[in-house]
């Protein structure tokens, strides 16, 4: 199932902070995938908002769907140059938390919710690849059967964990790893013909499902191949409550429409760039923050500085010298439309609000 996009202009890219966007938590995450995959470029913007309950300014990170050669590509290059020239990082390995990354978007049910509600998630590409592979797997003892089923037919379990191997600390993701598999007890295992994975299967071929038919109002029904990608037709896949939710409208374009540079700059006029943003270890995300602040102010961004009270205070470097950055656009990797997944990415880390 491919997520569609609409022609409508996106009025508000991910509300602040959005409760309909899910992030992978450490440990087990159980999801039912409903629509996807959709290949997206995501940029993470450090900013702040005023928490009315706490009556204080809170540091948050907002995800934006961006186009090629966005303003984030430019400030990411500036940040990388500063890191190489003043932080001793290697030019061929330097990374910036401002550079856009490739993500795989899905509409899901998050089993952590007490009641079913469609949410959106930006999976790291490594998870997207694992999801593709477990759906395409062939049964080890039945060469003509799918080992599992289509992703929307059974819950998947994605375990996010930290690999203690010291050599991984400086790799993308800093040692964060993922394990992706179907939940135990998959009643569809070994039931679906492997031919259903073929894109050339005839549309008029009837789908024969588990024991071995779907039922509605007590009557057996058969589904055409084209209907297998319509969850509403699977009365043995979803509960009554879930089907009622699936019958309501859900515009996934709210989470997949890329913002132009003009639209981003409009948002930046009300969303200050938090130059004091820090990672989970309490370290500044931008170690030479005064230098970076000067450069992005020249680009028209408004810079603020809000310290997080929940994290330990980091040691700050003195940075009084100026830096001249000659921006040269990087050549983005060319990808075919069908190439949804990309093994290379800036980081595997999910950045929750």
User: What digits encode the pLDDT tens for the residues 41-83?
Assistant: 999 999 887 778 877 778 888 889 999 999 999 999 999 999 9
Quote the strand ranges of the chain, DSSP E.
Answer: 21-22, 27-51, 56-65, 101-110, 118-124, 156-162, 176-182, 206-207, 214-216, 219-221, 223-224, 273-274, 303-304
pLDDT tens across 76-102, in order? 999 999 999 998 888 888 889 999 999
HEC states along 269-333?
CCCCEECCCECCCCCECCCCHHHHHHHHHHCCCCEECCCCCCCCCCCCCCCCCCCCCCCCCCCCC
Which of 140, 116, 137, 142 lies closest to 237, judged by CA? 116
The structure's pTM equals 0.73
pLDDT above 90 coverage of the chain, percent = 34
pLDDT at 309: 52
pLDDT at 173: 59
Q: Cβ-count burial of 231 within 10 angstroms (0-12 exposed, 13-18 middle, 19+ buried)?
A: buried
Angle of helix 71-87 versus helix 289-298 axis, rounded to 10 = 150
Asked whether the beta carbons of 163 and 177 are under 8 A apart, the reply is yes
Is pLDDT above 50 for 218?
no
Is pLDDT above 60 for 16?
no
Mean pLDDT estimate for the chain: 75
Residue 154 C-alpha from the chain's centroid: 20
pLDDT at 19: 75
pLDDT tens across 152-171, in order? 889 999 999 988 776 655 55
- What SS3 state is found at 106? strand
Q: Which residues of 53-90 are buried (b: 16+ CB within 10 A; e: fewer)?
A: eeeeebbbbbbbbbbeebbbbbbbbbbbbbbebeeebe
Give the best-scoring range by mean pLDDT among 104-113, 261-270, 319-328.
104-113
Using CA atoms, how far apart are residues 176 and 164, in angstroms rounded to an integer? 9
pLDDT at 215: 46
Is pLDDT above 90 for 31?
yes
């Amino acid at each position: 199932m491919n997520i569609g996009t609409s022609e409508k202009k996106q009025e508000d890219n991910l509300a602040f902070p959005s409760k309909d966007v899910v992030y992978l938590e450490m440990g087990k995450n159980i999801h039912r995938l409903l629509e996807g995959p959709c290949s997206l470029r995501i940029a993470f913007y450090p900013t702040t908002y005023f928490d009315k309950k706490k009556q204080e300014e809170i540091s948050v990170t907002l995800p934006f769907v961006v186009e090629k050669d966005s303003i984030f590509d430019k400030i990411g290059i500036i940040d990388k140059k500063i890191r190489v020239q003043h932080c001793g990082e290697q030019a061929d390995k330097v990374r910036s938390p401002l550079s856009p990354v490739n993500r795989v978007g899905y509409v899901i049910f998050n089993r952590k919710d007490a009641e079913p509600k469609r949410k959106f998630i930006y999976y790291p590409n490594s998870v997207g690849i694992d999801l593709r592979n477990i759906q395409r797997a062939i049964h080890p003892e039945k060469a003509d059967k799918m080992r599992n089923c289509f992703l929307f037919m059974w819950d998947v379990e994605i375990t996010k964990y930290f690999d203690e191997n010291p050599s991984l600390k400086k790799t993308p993701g800093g040692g964060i790893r993922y394990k992706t598999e179907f939940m135990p007890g998959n009643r569809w295992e070994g039931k679906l013909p492997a031919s259903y994975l073929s894109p050339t299967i005839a549309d008029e071929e009837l789908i024969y499902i588990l024991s071995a038919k779907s039922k509605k109002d007590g009557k057996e029904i058969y589904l055409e191949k084209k209907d297998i990608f319509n969850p509403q037709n699977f009365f043995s896949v979803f509960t009554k409550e879930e089907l009622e939710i699936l019958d309501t409208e859900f515009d996934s374009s709210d989470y997949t429409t890329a913002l132009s540079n003009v639209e981003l700059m409009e948002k930046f006029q009300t969303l200050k760039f938090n130059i004091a943003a820090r990672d989970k270890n309490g370290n500044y995300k931008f170690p030479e923050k005064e230098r970076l602040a000067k450069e992005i102010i020249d680009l028209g961004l408004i810079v603020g500085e809000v310290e997080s009270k929940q994290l330990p205070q980091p040691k700050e470097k003195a940075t009084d010298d100026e830096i001249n950055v000659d921006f040269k656009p990087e050549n983005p990797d060319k990808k075919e439309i069908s190439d949804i997944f990309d093994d290379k990415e800036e980081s595997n880390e999910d950045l929750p609000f």
